[in-house]
Amino acid sequence: MTQTPLSAIQVQWLKSLGVEMLWGKPLVPTQVNIDNVEKAISLSTGVPIGGTTQENAETAHQASVSTSTSSQAVEHEGIALIKRSSPEGKTKSGRLVREEQSPFKKIIHGIQGKQHAYHRQLRENQSANGLAVPVSHAQTWDALANDISRYYQEWGWITQGSEVLMGQQGDKPCSLMIIDEMPSTEDFIAGELFSGSSGQLLENMLKPLGLGKSSVAMTSLLKVPLSGEVLSSHYTQNLPFLRMQIQWLQPRCIWLLGSRIAQPFLSDVSLQMDMLRSKTWFYPLSETQKVPVIVSHHPSLVLLNTGLKADIWEDLQKVDKILKGI
């Protein structure tokens, strides 16, 4: 039986454990054949061992040039080795991936994006065609709530006998009107907008203005929480109701909380929050009267990201100046 090759360190470790014999033979370090090692090095590097220093240097230089040329050729072909743990596709080690595939992926993603936009627009059109144009001749807050409930029943948003969440009118004359996209499920169960933790935060946000939740007007564009995808046609169908509420209350300032209400209200879905917050907008009450509109983050988002508190404070100062007529 061939003796297992052992290094000097392995032999020393085995002897420390009290092992003196292995396979019936005494433990001795295996002698390394230098010639075999030199051959192995020569095969892996292309540089022969044992020649003169000058010969070895020249051969090593040639091997280096050859390796560099080979590397450049591979790079020129646009081929890269992807490691097993790479995020590019979690491919196996050594798999060749051509960089030319990247433009095709962009084309595929572009086609998928267009398909998504097309199907969304199709759903928008179907939704708009299925909804009646809302018309209300209500003269009071409660009468408008009844009209909205009737339309929501026709659209299949609520069942017969269900109520909608209109919000509150606040103190009169109305100084500040806060508008949300739609009530949360928690709000709908509680029967008030901005309930729970978001409501507590809103209360604290209003304190520097000398106001409280009960003293300001609050409503939402959609009067019930909708599940699933909310289409722009849903917002469009509800804007006439919101405009009626604004006309009745005649607020001195409108505060939109969240981009989901700001985009349809300002009729531009492409605007992001940074742009929405960057200036004061105006809502026309009449040909001669315009109401300043401030956009800010929704309290529920601020609860998740406390770093937005600085933005909230900046927006509160804008609202405060408007209410004070500065």
pLDDT at residue 80 in the model: 37
> Given this model, what pLDDT does residue 91 score?
38
Beta-strand pair 176-180/79-82? unpaired
Average pLDDT for the chain = 77
CA distance 163 to 144: 12
> Does the predicted TM-score (pTM) go above 0.75?
no
pLDDT band at 284 (very low <50, low <70, confident <90, very high): very high
pLDDT tens-digit map of 59-70: 444 544 444 444
Query: What pLDDT band is residue 110 in, cutting at 50, 70 and 90?
Result: low
pLDDT value of position 207 = 94
User: How many Cβ atoms sit within 10 Å of the Cβ of residue 154?
Assistant: 13
What would the pLDDT profile of 133-183 be if each residue is shown by its tens digit? 678 889 999 999 999 999 999 888 899 888 899 999 999 999 999 999 999
Lowest pLDDT segment from 37-46, 259-268, 274-283: 37-46
